[in-house]
Chain A
Amino acid sequence: MTTNRRDFLTAAVTAVGAAVTPDLSHAHEHDHEHQAVPSDPTLRVKALESLLVEKGLVDRSALDALIDTYEHKVGPRNGARVVARAWADPAYRQRLLTNADAAIAELGYGGLQGEHMVVVENTPKVHNLVVCTLCSCYPWPVLGLPPVWYKSAPYRSRAVIDPRGVLREFGLELADDVELRVWDSTAELRYLVLPERPVGSEKLNEEELAALVTRDAMIGVGIAARRQGDLG
């Protein structure tokens, strides 16, 4: 049933293709990574958007605003500020671990796909790793939209059965005496890892601390950079 829809909008695509000059070279280059798709997604999505706008079902400026939000306003810098505050302020850290929604809202963050947050803390003896084996659940308000690898089959399949192997692939060798907790985001709770504060960061202010916090550290596939130069 679904297969038949893959060539939806073929007629419309032809019409749109005549009217626009999309950057086909770039689109095709990307297609090769994912095998051939029936028709060019650029044209198909453009045709779909045009139809929906013409029917009055979507507002083009709303689409622009949504894209702008996740390209420029909401991303892992938000989460980094939360982590830095928790490192700098023990009372905040406590609030974050016991009532994450309220604590994150203190910094002005929250909302779509982060309505119900849980923060899990790394310690010298506990490491946390977040995955969504069933789809791509991820805490948008603090990390933005998920990277491709997080949504991909290799990560989703292995994070629960071979988490230490996954961490090794990210360059993180976990000692045998460290307990590894994997959090599978199967419900509407969204997880953020509070990484360990790097050794030697005692004199840094909150802003400098935030610069040490990587997105990967807040997923649990990395640790906070030890020096600013390490920040990937």
Chain B
Amino acid sequence: MADKELELYIHIPFCIRKCNYCDFLSFSCDEEGIEKYVSTLVEEIRCKARDYKDDVITSVFIGGGTPSILSDDQIERIMNVVKNNYNLSDCCEITIESNPGTLTEEKLLAYKKSGINRLSIGLQSADDDELKLLGRIHDYQTFVDNYNLARKLGFDTINVDLISAIPGGSIEKFKESLLKVVELNPEHISVYSLIIEEGTPFYINYGEGGPLEDTLISEDDDREIYHLTKTLLAEAGYNQYEISNYSKAGRKCQHNIGYWIRKNYVGFGLGASSLYDNMRYKNTSDMKEYLRIKAEDVPCGYMIRKEVENLDIKDIIGEYMYLGLRMNRGVDLKKMSEQVGQDVYNIYRTWIDKCASDGLIINKDHIICLTDKGQDLANYVMAGFV
């Protein structure tokens, strides 16, 4: 039997402090709590390994939160348990997410030593006032120092995260941030348009009816920024390959692409999601429950599986469509029809034709992909495939 490809995601839910816009599973924690978590995580990774002994790991992604909050020793322990228990492919992409202000030379060296070959840095903005507004713990200079240090220590694949549509901002201000980043010449840039999520401090101020709602960037400006980003980055040699991601040739994030083409992936750690043989599930988001894996020696952590969902053929086809459409290369209907054994074009013919006539998708040689306008209205298009 041919070896199956598999991606690993490892979640580190800790941050020095939570950013004002963030609604993801992360929080601050003392060292003792972090250590307890890491040792449980290592245990989880180890005990689940036997389920995946026939799989080849094509990518590992340590995400957060702020994984760079962990000590060099903790990262090495996590990486060791991965390397010692899973079959990593020769060209396995191993990414760690980091935030400026938490990176040190020791940690970066530990990353290198343990095989991490891709560094992602959350900059978000090159403007110190905006960084303050977002509730970030760092300024721009700290980021530049961290970045240069990583380069010096030999990291040759670096991603920088930016946020667009920061309240009170402007097209010009964003352009400045973007160009500053381009100047540093990273291999990969992600740009996310800010979403005001319920339950965040931002929501109170900028949410519906909030006192500062009118300082939000207008939808029109937001879209102008989006298209400007695409153009500017293309000129600088970065090509968009997904709704929010741009890279230099051959430097796409393989792990991320895996999500959109429905590769199998297994998540470790609090609240981590998995997709394996058309079953989706999540680890528990309750820390106490999670830590019991170790305390009670629960085998392989099945007890912490939540929201288990077995996808049927209709779900699968829908996912292929709306996830695949996030990628610029689009979805190959012919190939997909062969994969799922159904004529996919026929199922969605009306919707595909409507979107095509509305100028939202291009349908060429069995391959459909979003147009520029389609990217602006991606959810509208995708909802038709659910």
Answer yes or no: do A and B interact.
no
B: residues with CB less than 8 A from A are none
A: residues with CB less than 8 A from B are none
